[in-house]
Chains A and B, each alone.
Chain A
Amino acid sequence: MISEKTITDFVYREADLLDTMQWQPWLDLFHPEGRYWMPLEWQQQDPVLQPSLMYEDLLLMKVRIERLAGERTFSQKPKSRCHHLLQAPQIVACDPATGIFKARTSFIYTETRGDTLERFSGWASHDLVQVGDGLKIKLKRIDLVNFDAPFGNIQLFM
């Protein structure tokens, strides 16, 4: 039975897998039709006909992850590291009858590489579905508070 705690634990574990760079277990959290979305507009509705920073399916996420380990991936020499600081997730929906599970989590995200450190603030929204006994990600959405500012490289996942 999926409870609110199942959802909360899932969100914490997802961030932990990113922070510890366990890429394959992280990818395994996604539903085959899952998407990772970073909008470029305030309260954006459409990921396809409005501009986004990222809107990626599993194929593109795999490309991104394999690239990180590539011998000729020069922007990862030295390598990036990241840290997620999460507020307790708000449960937006937890309805086993309809299979709708949603959480929204306020975060501070840090990405470092060499001597540089960049910090970002925003909200992560998880749309989850039940598969077997567990949950899978249908959509992970990252809304940055300053989505409209010009950033330097963001190479890992928020």
Chain B
Amino acid sequence: MVKYGNNPRAIGGLVRDAEVHRDVYVDPEIFDLEMEHLFPNSWIYVGHASQLAKAGDFITANIGRQPVVASRHTDGSIHLFYNRCPHKGVKIASEPCGNTGKFFRCPYHAWSFKTDGSLLAIPLKKGYEGTGFTDSPASDGLSRIRNVVVYRDFIFARLSETGVAFEDYFGESLSTIDNMVDRSPEGKLAVVATPIRYMHTCNWKMLVENQTDTCHPMVAHESSAGTAIKVWQREQGDSKETPMAVQLYGPFMSPYEFYEQSGIRIWPNGHGHTGVANSIHSNYSDIEGYLGQMVAAYGEKRAHEILGEVRHNTVYFPNIMVKGAVQILRNFIPIAVDRTLVESWVYRLVGAPDKLYERALMYNRFINAPTSIVGHDDLEMYERAQEGLKTNGNQWVNLRRLYESGEEPDVTAVINGTSERQMRNQFHAWAKFMTMDMVEPVEAAE
């Protein structure tokens, strides 16, 4: 039974001021509509330009359920197209990344395409003369995605031909990406390794909400971070220096008051971040030589400004989270209504000491790996929610913490760090981008 298809009123009814209906997490029809509307209408992260260093380099990705290829053309430009040969639909790239040389060549019938996607050659081309081939979609080569923006080497795309422009969509939220890039003395990041991949049997939005959920760490992670602190206190002996590992785990056990004062900032279109005043990343040891490099590159004042901004988690709606202070991006890739692939990428700060990269890699495997004890704590909660939300007794998820009646949607504001307002902000954006291309959208985009 189709309940929600092209029915913006029904979709809008799932999102109340401070509650959402469980169907947003468990209904397969809602998931299909997210893939058809929400993801195409939003700007989605595809990859990093450092992965496309040389002409002919390519990466593959998914935007929602749509397989895409990004490539570096001979003139240095970056192009994005759907990953299928225009002839019979065969994927032209099968690996996560590689170099295709001067052209892509379909392995089935040897149709070939330039690295900007245009048709280069077809064997026995005479066979198409007078067939009307030039009027068929296949003659255009690989189907291109035209709305692509490379912002400080971060590649984003919007599948929908029309919609909100990149600058309007992200606005001031881009400041977190700016801060992460500025932390390199050369103003440059590089992907030099594969991400950690972790399969989650839950809806992708649970993961996104958890990024600004500051009332769970001291509860759900008592088992991991709490035990790390306990074992260290017992075993430390005369040691004066707290090991990097304990520095990374420890702050997860910070009390409610810490998160309350550290604050949350919300932005229009569902973006927002925790850790405004300070964050769990504030008190890591200095890395020898790094500050000197930063001061040499940016000057005393600017270097301290950059390093003083230690935001915790920044959600870029709909499905990535960026941690500038430890150079990590987590991509929550929807697979099915109850299945999400999480790819956690670490960027190397070009020109910075190795120790910073070592710490970022350590953080990533401590928190974001299938072997991570913090990850085990979280996934257990998501799985239980995915099961629990099947119950019919109460069909609403409560997001009312620090709700104030008459909250304005799509504003920039700094609020108490234990508020659930960023989750409300995300669901407002969710309803908007789900329905904006339906007959009667819930709300016209700003």
Considering the complex, give the chain A residue whose CB is closest to the CB of B380: A75
Interface residues of B in 245-261 (CB under 8 A from A): 245-246, 249
Determine if B231 and A62 form an interchain contact, defined as CB atoms under 8 angstroms apart.
yes
State which size class the interface on B falls in: 35 or more
A60 CA to B249 CA, complexed, in Å: 11
Determine if B232 and A40 form an interchain contact, defined as CB atoms under 8 angstroms apart.
no
- Please name all residues of chain A whose beta carbon is closer than 8 Å to the beta carbon of B197 when the two chains form the complex: 148-151
Residue A131 at the chain B interface, CB threshold 8 Å: no
Determine if A153 and B361 form an interchain contact, defined as CB atoms under 8 angstroms apart.
no
The winner among B198, B201, B343, B369 for most chain A CB atoms within 10 A is B369
Determine if B193 and A50 form an interchain contact, defined as CB atoms under 8 angstroms apart.
yes
Q: Which of A18-26, A66-74, A86-94, A122-130 contacts B (4 or more CB under 8 A)?
A: A66-74
Residue A51 at the chain B interface, CB threshold 8 Å: yes
With A51-B364, A74-B380 given, is the CB distance from A63 to B199 under 8 Å? no
Interface residues of B in 349-382 (CB under 8 A from A): 354, 357-358, 361-362, 364-365, 369-371, 373, 375-377, 379-381
Determine if A51 and B235 form an interchain contact, defined as CB atoms under 8 angstroms apart.
no
Residue B94 at the chain A interface, CB threshold 8 Å: no
- Please name all residues of chain B whose beta carbon is closer than 8 Å to the beta carbon of A154 when the two chains form the complex: 370-371
Interface residues of A in 135-158 (CB under 8 A from B): 148-155
- Please name all residues of chain A whose beta carbon is closer than 8 Å to the beta carbon of B376 when the two chains form the complex: 75, 153, 155
Residue B215 at the chain A interface, CB threshold 8 Å: no
- Please name all residues of chain A whose beta carbon is closer than 8 Å to the beta carbon of B200 when the two chains form the complex: 152
B194, B245, B249: which contacts A148 (Cβ < 8 A)? B194
A82 CA to B256 CA, complexed, in Å: 37
A38, A41, A151: which contacts B194 (Cβ < 8 A)? A41
Determine if B224 and A152 form an interchain contact, defined as CB atoms under 8 angstroms apart.
no
Determine if B196 and A51 form an interchain contact, defined as CB atoms under 8 angstroms apart.
yes
A51, A70, A73, A151: which contacts B346 (Cβ < 8 A)? A51
Interface residues of B in 380-394 (CB under 8 A from A): 380-381, 384
Determine if A67 and B194 form an interchain contact, defined as CB atoms under 8 angstroms apart.
no
Determine if B370 and A53 form an interchain contact, defined as CB atoms under 8 angstroms apart.
yes
- Chain A nearest CB from B20 CB (Å) reads 24
Interface residues of A in 26-69 (CB under 8 A from B): 38, 40-41, 48-55, 59-60, 62-64, 66-67
Interface size on A, residues (CB 8 A): 31
- Please name all residues of chain B whose beta carbon is closer than 8 Å to the beta carbon of A55 when the two chains form the complex: 362, 365
A140 CA to B172 CA, complexed, in Å: 47
Residue B220 at the chain A interface, CB threshold 8 Å: yes
- Please name all residues of chain B whose beta carbon is closer than 8 Å to the beta carbon of A75 when the two chains form the complex: 223, 376-377, 379-380
Determine if B201 and A152 form an interchain contact, defined as CB atoms under 8 angstroms apart.
yes
With A66-B230, A75-B380 given, is the CB distance from A150 to B357 under 8 Å? no
Residue B283 at the chain A interface, CB threshold 8 Å: no
With A55-B365, A63-B231, A64-B373 given, is the CB distance from A73 to B379 under 8 Å? no
Residue B243 at the chain A interface, CB threshold 8 Å: yes
- Please name all residues of chain B whose beta carbon is closer than 8 Å to the beta carbon of A153 when the two chains form the complex: 370, 375-376, 379-380
Considering the complex, give the chain A residue whose CB is closest to the CB of B219: A72
Determine if B380 and A49 form an interchain contact, defined as CB atoms under 8 angstroms apart.
no
B199, B361, B365, B381: which contacts A151 (Cβ < 8 A)? B199
Residue B145 at the chain A interface, CB threshold 8 Å: no
Determine if B365 and A53 form an interchain contact, defined as CB atoms under 8 angstroms apart.
yes
A102 CA to B200 CA, complexed, in Å: 36
- Chain A nearest CB from B300 CB (Å) reads 30
Determine if A51 and B379 form an interchain contact, defined as CB atoms under 8 angstroms apart.
no
Determine if B231 and A66 form an interchain contact, defined as CB atoms under 8 angstroms apart.
yes
Interface residues of B in 284-333 (CB under 8 A from A): none
Residue B29 at the chain A interface, CB threshold 8 Å: no
- Please name all residues of chain A whose beta carbon is closer than 8 Å to the beta carbon of B381 when the two chains form the complex: 74
Residue B410 at the chain A interface, CB threshold 8 Å: no
- Chain A nearest CB from B154 CB (Å) reads 20
A46 CA to B379 CA, complexed, in Å: 29
Residue B33 at the chain A interface, CB threshold 8 Å: no
A150 CA to B198 CA, complexed, in Å: 5
- Chain A nearest CB from B288 CB (Å) reads 16
Residue B228 at the chain A interface, CB threshold 8 Å: yes
With A51-B196, A154-B370 given, is the CB distance from A72 to B235 under 8 Å? no
A70, A72, A74, A152: which contacts B370 (Cβ < 8 A)? A152
A144 CA to B370 CA, complexed, in Å: 13
A149 CA to B96 CA, complexed, in Å: 12
Give me the 10 closest cross-chain CB pairs, A-B, nearest first.
A150-B197, A75-B380, A73-B223, A151-B370, A75-B376, A150-B199, A67-B227, A53-B371, A70-B223, A63-B228
Known: A51-B361, A53-B369, A75-B376. 15 other contacts (CB 8 A): A48-B361, A51-B194, A51-B365, A53-B370, A59-B232, A59-B246, A62-B235, A63-B231, A63-B373, A70-B222, A70-B223, A73-B223, A75-B377, A152-B200, A152-B370
Which chain A residues have a beta carbon within 8 Å of chain B's beta carbons? 38, 40-41, 48-55, 59-60, 62-64, 66-67, 70, 72-75, 148-155
Which chain B residues have a beta carbon within 8 Å of chain A's beta carbons? 193-201, 220, 222-224, 226-228, 230-232, 235, 243, 245-246, 249, 341-343, 346, 354, 357-358, 361-362, 364-365, 369-371, 373, 375-377, 379-381, 384
